[in-house]
Chain A
Amino acid sequence: MAYFDHAATTPLDPRVRDVMLEHAGEPLNPSSIHQPGQRARRLLDQARGQLAAAVGLGDAGQVCFTSGATEAANLALRGLATGNTGGPLHVVTSALEHSCVRETLEHLAETGRVVLHLLPVGGDGRAVLDDDAIPMQAGLLCLMHANNETGVVQDVAAARALARRRGIPWLCDACQTLGKEPLVLDDLGADLVILSAHKAYGPVGIGCLAGPGLGRLVPQITGGAQEEERRAGTPSVPLARAFAAAAELAVAELGQRREHLAALEEEFLACLARAGAPHRLNGTAPRLPGFLNLSFPGRDAVDMVIALDQHGESASPGSACSTGVVAASPVLAAMYPDDAERAAGGVRFTFGRQTTRQEVATLAETIVSIL
C-alpha cells in the first residue's frame, strides 16, 4: 500500500515520536504547584519557545496551544465575533478556505454574528484581492496561506498589505505550509495564524493559534487559567513537545524536503506525460511542492480514488474533512464555475518525505491502467 494523502495527515516522524514518548509515563500537569507540576510547566514553556522560534515568532507568548487547527479556527473566529460588540463582524474571505474556517464562518453568519463578503477566485487557484471588493465595514480578512485541496499558495504579501491598509486583522490558516514553504510568522504579518502538528509529521491532537491578535479574542473553552486564560483544559506536555520537535525538523529540513517533493512531482508528471495520460492540473499558480490536484477527463474523483484504492494507492478527492459523505469540492467549484466535470474530477495527490520515486512511478502506471 502506498500513501499519497499527506495533506490529510502525515505519519508521525520516529524522531518526533521519541520526543513525545520521553515523558509519556510521567504525571505532568503544568498547573500543579509541586515539583512534577513545575517540571511540566518548564517543559511546556520550553516547547512553546521552540515552536515560536521554529516558525519565526519572536514572542513565544503569542502561541496558544489548542487541540488542533479546527479548534484554533473556532477560537479565532468565534473569539473575534463574540468580542465584536455593536453589530455583526464583517468578514472578507473566499470559497477556498478549509472547512474549519468556512463552515465556522457559515455558522456564525446563520446566527447573525458575522456577515460574509466573498472574494472572487481565479482559475489559477488564488483568491483575487481586489481592494474595491472590500466593503468599508470590513472587520476581518480571512485568507489562508496554502490551499488544502490544490496546494496553491495565496498572495499573502497582498493580503498583508491590504489588511494593513484597511487597519483590519488578518487570520491566516497555514496548516499545509509548515515544512513545505518557508514560514516566518513575524514576516508574514498575520494577526492570527492557524497551525497543526499532524500535517507536518507531528502528532494528531495538537495545534495552535499564534500571533499578536490573541489578546483581542474572547476565550471559548473556559474554566481554567491555562494558556494565559485563553484556552482552559490540561495541556499535554508530550503533545506540545512533539509539536515543537516536528516544527523544528520541518524548518531544519525544509530545503531537502522541498527538493525531494519537487523531484517526485516531476517524476510523476513525466510518467503521466510519457504514457500520454490525459489530465488537467487544477490550480496553476505557484504551489506547494509534491502537491497535485488533477482532473482526468470523463472521470469522477470518487470513482478514481476508489479504483486507485483497489490497486493499493491511497489518494483523496479533495479534503478529508468532509466526513462520510464525499461532497463536490467547493474549492474546485469556485475555481471552475463553468466546468462541473473538472470540478467533480479533482483527485488530490500529496507526496511526503518518505514517498519514493518508485512509488510515484507505480502510481502513474496505475492511473494509466485505470484510464
Chain B
Amino acid sequence: MPLYLDSHATTPLDPRVLEAMMPYLTDRFGNAASTTHSFGHEAAEAVARARAQVAAATGAQPDDVVFTSGATEALNLAIKGTAEAARGGGHIVTCVAEHPAVLDACARMERAGVRVTRLPIEPDGSLSPARVAAALEDDTFLAAIMQANNEIGTIHDIASIAALCAERGVPLLTDATQSAGKIPLRMEEWGVRMAALSAHKVYGPKGVGALIVRRSGRPRLRLTPQIDGGGHERGLRSGTLNVPGIVGLGAALEIAEAERETEAARLGALRDRLRARLFGELDALEENGTAPAKLAHNLNVAFHFVDSAALLNAVPQVAVSTGSACSSAEPEPSHVILALGHGEEHARCSVRFGLHRFTTPEDIEQAASLVIAAVRELRGHSGLYGAT
C-alpha cells in the first residue's frame, strides 16, 4: 500500500470502529424493523444509540437523524426533497465551489423550474456570509453551503450564515461531509436546519451516512422522501437499516469528536511541515485555498509547469489526488480551482493532499521527498519551466 494522502476521497476504517461493528456482523444480526422479537429489539437499540452519538457530534437531537447510504444520497434527499415540497418554482442559493452532489441536484431542480443562484468564492476560497444573505430572495426555500470544501479545505462560517438565513426565514443545508468530526458543528445553537455527512470520510465504513433534519422551528421544513416503501426513518427514508454501518457511523463520530482538538493540532503541524518542505525546496508553487479558516489536514498546491496527472504517475508510491474523487474519472479541470479565479492550466497542475489519523511524521517526510524529486524531474523535461 503506498503512502495514502487522499483522506478527502475516503479514509481507512479505524480498528476501534470495526470493533464496535463486529457484534452486529455476528450474533446481533436482527432487522431493526422487526418489532416483534428480541433480535429486532436488539438491533433497534443499537440504532438508537448511534442516533444519539450522531446527534451529539452535530449538536442536534437524536430524532433529527435520518440514516442514509451516504452523503450523496443525503444531499439528494435534502435538495430534491425540499424542491419537490416547494412544488416546482422557488429559489435556491448555493455556491459554485460545492461538491458535485449539491451542484448536480441543484442543476436538475433548475431544469424542473427552480431558480438557482450560485455564489462565487473569493480568490482565497472564502465565502462572505453577507454575500449569502444578499442573495436570499422572498421565495428562497433553501440555502446550501458546505461547511468545509473537499478540495481546498477552506471552512465557511456556517454559524454566521445560518444566523443570516434564519433572519430571512430560509433553511440552511450544510454539507458537513469533510468537516464532521474535524471541526465543531452546532446545528441547534447556530440554527442550521439540515446537515449531510458520511461515515467513510471520518474513519467509518462506506455505505452509510446521514441527513440530520431539524424539522421543528420556523419556518416549517418540508421534505418529500426520495426513497419510499416501509416508512423507516420517520417516513423520510425507507429501506432496511444498515445496523452494523449505522453503529460504525456513531462510533466513528464519537471517537472523532473526543480526539478532535488534539488530532487537528497534530495534523496541522504535519500539514505545515509538508507545506514548508514543498515551498522551501521547490519554486513556482502556489497554494490553493489560502483563507485562514482551513481544515488542518488539507493542502492543495499548484505545481506550475507540471501536469498533475503526470505527477501522480511519476510518484505511484504516494496516493494523492488531482481533484475530487467523484469527478476524477473525468478529465475536466477542477471546478473549485477555477472558482478561485485561476485558469485551466493552473487547475491542471493542482494536487490535493489529505492527511489522516494514521499519517506519521515519517510518511510526510517521505512523501515530500518523493514529490519534490518527481516535480524536479518532470520540470527538467519541460521546456516551459526552463524558459522562465
Contacts and interface: CB of A to CB of B under 8 A. Distances in A.
Given A9-B29, A12-B26, A204-B241, A232 B200 contact: no
Given A31-B325, A204-B245, A321-B231, 15 more contacts: A9-B31, A11-B26, A26-B1, A31-B9, A34-B318, A37-B6, A205-B69, A222-B101, A223-B102, A224-B327, A225-B327, A234-B10, A238-B206, A239-B206, A322-B33
B333 to A, nearest CB: 14
Interface of A: 1, 3, 5, 8-12, 17, 20-21, 24-29, 31-37, 66-71, 73-74, 98-104, 107, 196, 198, 203-206, 220-226, 232-239, 302, 305-306, 308-309, 312, 314-317, 320-324, 326
Contact of A225 (B27, B76, B330): B330
B312 A34 contact: yes
Nearest to A39: B1
A68 B326 contact: no
Given A8-B31, A223-B100, A316 B37 contact: yes
A12 B26 CA distance: 7
Interface in B52-78: 68-73, 75-76
A100 B36 contact: no
B321 A32 contact: yes
A317 B36 contact: yes
Contacts of B9: 27, 29, 31-32, 37
Contacts of B12: 25-27
Contacts, number: 271
A322 B36 CA distance: 11
B76 A73 contact: no
Contacts of B242: 67-68, 203-205
B227 interface: yes
A26 B227 CA distance: 30
B275 to A, nearest CB: 20
Nearest to B2: A35
Contacts of A24: 13, 18, 205
B231 A322 contact: yes
18 contacts: A9-B240, A20-B25, A29-B10, A33-B312, A34-B6, A36-B1, A74-B226, A74-B229, A100-B229, A104-B228, A107-B225, A221-B226, A223-B101, A224-B100, A224-B327, A233-B71, A236-B205, A322-B231
Contacts of A31: 9, 325-329
A309 B31 CA distance: 15
Given A104-B229, A321-B240, A36 B319 contact: yes
Given A224-B100, A322-B230, A27 B7 contact: yes
B230 A32 contact: no
Interface in B130-147: none
Nearest to A68: B239
| Pairs A-B, 9 closest by C-beta atoms | A100-B229, A223-B101, A67-B69, A70-B239, A205-B242, A314-B37, A236-B206, A233-B72, A321-B230
A69 B312 CA distance: 38
B4 A27 contact: yes
A31 B330 CA distance: 10
A226 B207 CA distance: 13
B145 to A, nearest CB: 16
Given A31-B9, A203-B25, A326 B36 contact: yes
B31 A33 contact: no
Interface stretch (B103-111, B113-121, B258-266, B298-306): B103-111
Nearest to B42: A1
A206 B69 CA distance: 9
Contacts of B321: 32-34
B230 A70 contact: yes
A33 B38 contact: no
A234 B6 contact: no
B349 to A, nearest CB: 15
Contacts of A312: 38
B176 interface: no
A67 B37 contact: no
B336 interface: no
Contacts of A203: 25, 242, 244
